[in-house]
Structure 1
Amino acid sequence: MRNIPLHWQIAAAILLAVTAGVIGGPDAGIGSLHFTAVYAFLGTMFLNALKMLIVPLVMSSIISGMAGVGGDKLEKLGGKTLLFYASSSLVAILIGLAVVNVIAPGSGDNQALAATISSNDPELSDTLSKVEGRGASDIVQVFVRMVPTNVVNAAANSEMLGLIFFSLLFGFFLARSKSEHAKTLTHFWQGVMDIMTEITMWVMRFAPIGVFGLVAKTVAITGFAAFKPMLLFFFTALLALLIHAFVALPLVLKYVAGVSPKKHYAAMTPALLTAFSTASSSATLPLTLKSIQEESGVSKQVSGFVLPLGATVNMDGTALYECVAAMFIAQVYGLELGFVQQFTIVMIALLTSIGVAGIPAASLVAISVILGAIGLPLEGIGLLLVTDRILDMIRTAVNVFSDSCAAVVIARSEGEDTLIASK
């Protein structure tokens, strides 16, 4: 197995997981032992191992990256990063808006879908309990939490925006410090990052097993039969995500960064497959950093600054999905949206893709904000629950790929000669 590249191992694990989930279903097992419980155990252990790495890896990568970049370059690097993230998210949303308007998955006969929503559905009731009463004020509170009162508490509760803010400050002043002890701290954080990278490589040896558990459980429980009424919406969202990932972002790589999209895809394949399996940009961050540094050749200074920030605030796939989902629900309820309403959806999707990162049921909260803004009932979210898990996996992979593109583009703009540069 060690001679087989990791991305092929993960791909094989996904295929086996789909097969096992379809054949076994939710009730398969031996005696009282259900296979879904075994799948859940394998997946949870792998996810826990990845999440264990996040806090020390994020802190060490940002602090060591900042110390290496130097305080004088922070404004320039930060400006480029935020500009890329805002621009790529806006492009993603506009692609989603164009595709959903052309295909109109909620129009025509599909309007009967609105009648299938039952307020007595326990899954819908549970989801609505998470999003009811939420609005723009919740997004503001996320930004308030960006400045933590207790950084240790922020780390313990995985409040990544607060942790990133503290790490940026620490790294900035570490780079500017004239203290003789500052070099010791710089070496310390670089050492932490090196060790965390080694641990990441060890954890990733178990990735095929963990990925198998995560995907098999999802397929076994969700199945594919329930997709039929929602197939047109599913393929609309999927098409928009694929256009962004395989057309828009590669064009940026080729013509803005001057790198080979094909080589970059190859470099990022293990991270993308892991993102698809875990449906978590943060959990995938250790492997994203490893791939972008070792395979794409981006420096630790740039990747250590750009990627942790992107894993928290750059959500191209999520923003695109929010737009498509809101437009779909409007079409199902027979609401014709004019330019102003669609512009409202675009702007809210852009803001909420950043602002709801720390809120449970993040994308559904964002969609509930959009629905409230255009006057649609929250019960429309019930339509999305059937396909949400699979689309969540896909849009997470798009989020991670966008982060990696940002790292490459910014590295090239800083004059770095990456391993995937076009010759």
Structure 2
Amino acid sequence: MTLPNLEKSSTALPPIAQVPALWTFMGLVGGLLGGLAVAFLAPGALPVVQTWVQPVGDMWLRALQATIVPLVVALLFTGVTQTIAMASAGAMARRSLGMFLGFLTFSAGVAIVFTPILLSLLPIPTEAGAALRNTLGATEPGPVPGVAEFLRAIVPTNVIDAAANDRLLPLILFVSAFALAVGRLAGPQREVMTTFFAALASAMLVVIGWVLALAPIGVFALSMAVAATSGTAAIGALAHYVMIVVLTGTIVLLAGYAFAVAIARQPLGRFARAMLPAQAIALSTQSSLASLPAMLGACRNLGVRETTSEFVMPLAVALFRATSPAMNLAVAIYVAHLYGVELSPMVLASAWLVAILVSLSSVSLPGSISFVVSVGPIAIAMNAPVAPLALLVAVEVLPDLMRTLGNVTMDVAVTAAVDRKAPRAD
């Protein structure tokens, strides 16, 4: 059995212009402090901030929004084709992919069920929510479609029109079906199409890299305008958001332990002890790939065969993001609640499906790019605005700790489960 190659199994990333997440976070802190100084020490300067500073943030936000649709299309196509290629690698690969998709489905369901409960128990502070809406631009929620209208909208009569009008669910379903169809073409034709979309993805990654390289400036301008208008309420809103998203991710993390016990048949104490070194590296590096050697060590301590761990673990690191559907959906649901968007069962169902599909397109991407690519389509599918994402990406460094912790834990759990179900030689 051939070991999956991480470079081939993930989107080939070009050199991307980036700044460390810490600089974006510092831009947020600087903007909030500057805005508070205006609010409390020089309120007469507020018109200057609104005239000269806020438009800079708005321009950066528009540039960020412009990249979402083409980048999602290109990455989703490559993600689907890569998944198909992995499925052809043998029975163990298909078993692994089946478990990946099963848990991603569960992960998305966690947010659908628990995030609204968390928001009802810990509601968004009224003053803080109003401040963010007023500064970032309040939008009137669109009408909630009925069942018949929703079902008709799934199949677009014009896919270009669907892309132009940000109707991402039909667009994503069309691209997924198109990628499946390309997989059935003859070799040369298939290679032409996959090369084209890989090149499109690489070019769009360069563009969004340029945009995100300006994140400290854009976030500084947006957060300064928010804080100058709302005062300390903006800080409370961001802290509340981080708490809700991290709590949602914690549920997925705990589900990873339950999966290890129920499916992989690992004793809870043994699994928890084996995970500690890998989890420590995950928290310090915020990288599943950097945690790979420690995860392989955890598999050895759990008695997983090396033939299984050396095949499944790189596959999991390349394709599997256990916490992504839950935490990305939690972000979108939070924004929808912030703007009073009605989340009907049909809207939640479409967001659930989009969250699962786009999780395949965000593999092996830097955290800030993955955040925009994954959360933006879900928010659009919910008819929720994407403007708050420009601020929320600045505090993603905090929820990202939980994302990496949950992903690493689940990678080991699913590898142990695959090993348990694999046939053993006599």
TM-score bracket for this pair, using the shorter chain length: 0.5 to 0.7
Shift of 1:228: 3.3
Question: Does residue 88 of the first structure (1) align with residue 103 of the second (2)?
Answer: yes
Counterparts of 1:165-180 in structure 2 under 5 Å? Answer: none
The verdict on how the C-alpha distance between 1:338 and 1:328 changes in structure 2, with shifts beyond 3 A counting, is same
* Residues 321-356 of structure 1 deviation map (CA, whole Å, 9 limit, x = unaligned): 111000000000111110011111111111111122
Residue type at the aligned position of 1:271 = A
Among 323, 329, 347, the residue aligned to 1:323: 329
Q: Is the 8 A contact 2:136 2:388 kept in 1?
A: no
Q: Does structure 2 conserve the Cα–Cα contact (< 8 Å) formed by 1:275 and 1:281?
A: yes
- How far residue 138 of structure 1 moved from its aligned partner, in angstroms, is 9.1
Distance 1:113 1:370, change over 3 A: farther
**Contact 1:312–1:357 (CA under 8 A) maintained in structure 2:** yes
Measured on the aligned residues, the alpha-carbon RMSD in Å equals 4.3
Instruction: From 375, 382, 387, give the equivalent of 1:374.
Output: 382
Aligned residue in 2 for 1:55:
none
Look up the SS of the partner of 1:282 in the other structure: coil
The 1:89–1:283 alpha-carbon spacing in structure 2 relative to 1, beyond 3 Å, is same
Q: Is residue 2:339 matched to residue 1:333?
A: yes
Could you tell me which runs of 5 or more consecutive residues in structure 1 were left unpaired when the two chains were aligned. 1-24, 27-65, 120-132, 150-158, 160-224, 418-423
Matches within 5 A, 1:265-344: 265-292=272-299, 294-344=300-350
Which of residues 226, 234, 240 is equivalent to 1:232? 240
The superposition leaves residues 14-43 of structure 1 with CA deviations (integer Å, 9 ceiling, x where unpaired) of xxxxxxxxxxx99xxxxxxxxxxxxxxxxx
Q: Show the counterpart of 2:260.
A: 253
Q: For residues 182-221 of structure 1, what are the alpha-carbon distances to aligned partners after superposition, in whole Å with 9 as ceiling and x for unaligned?
A: xxxxxxxxxxxxxxxxxxxxxxxxxxxxxxxxxxxxxxxx
Residue of structure 1 aligned with 2:112, choices 78, 97, 101: 97
Q: TM-score, normalised by structure 2?
A: 0.54
Within 2, Cα distance between the matches of 1:99 and 1:302? 34
Instruction: Tell me if the contact between 1:117 and 1:383 (Cα under 8 Å) persists in the aligned partners.
Output: no
Give the superposition deviation at 1:383: 4.2
Q: Which residue of 1 aligns with 2:47?
A: none
Amino acid at match of 1:85: F
Whole-Å separation in 2 of the counterparts to 1:272 and 1:134: 39
When normalised by structure 1's length, the TM-score is: 0.55
Distance in 2 separating the partners of 1:300 and 1:291: 11
1:262 aligns to what?
Answer: 269
Q: Secondary structure at the match of 1:316?
A: coil
Closer/same/farther in 2, CA of residues 272 and 323 from structure 1, 3 Å limit: same
5+ residue gaps, structure 2, are 1-28, 31-85, 138-165, 184-189, 193-201, 203-231
Q: Following the alignment from structure 2 to structure 1, what is the Cα–Cα distance between the partners of residues 373 and 348?
A: 18
Alignment of 1:358-373 (within 5 A): 358-359=364-365, 361-373=369-381
The residue aligned with 1:78 is: 93
Alignment partners' CA distance in 2, 1:404 and 1:389: 23
1:272 Cα deviation (Å)?
1.4
CA contact (8 A) 2:279 2:408 kept: yes
Deviation at 1:279, TM superposition (A): 1.8
Q: 1:387 to 1:340 in 2, by over 3 A?
A: same
Tell me if structure 1 keeps the 8 A contact 2:278–2:298. yes
**Sequence identity, in percent?**
20
Please name the residue that 1:169 is paired with: none
For the Cα contact (< 8 Å) 2:298–2:412, is it kept in 1?
no
Q: Which residue of 1 aligns with 2:129?
A: 111
After superposition, residues 169-248 of structure 1 pair within 5 angstroms as 228-246=236-254, 248=255
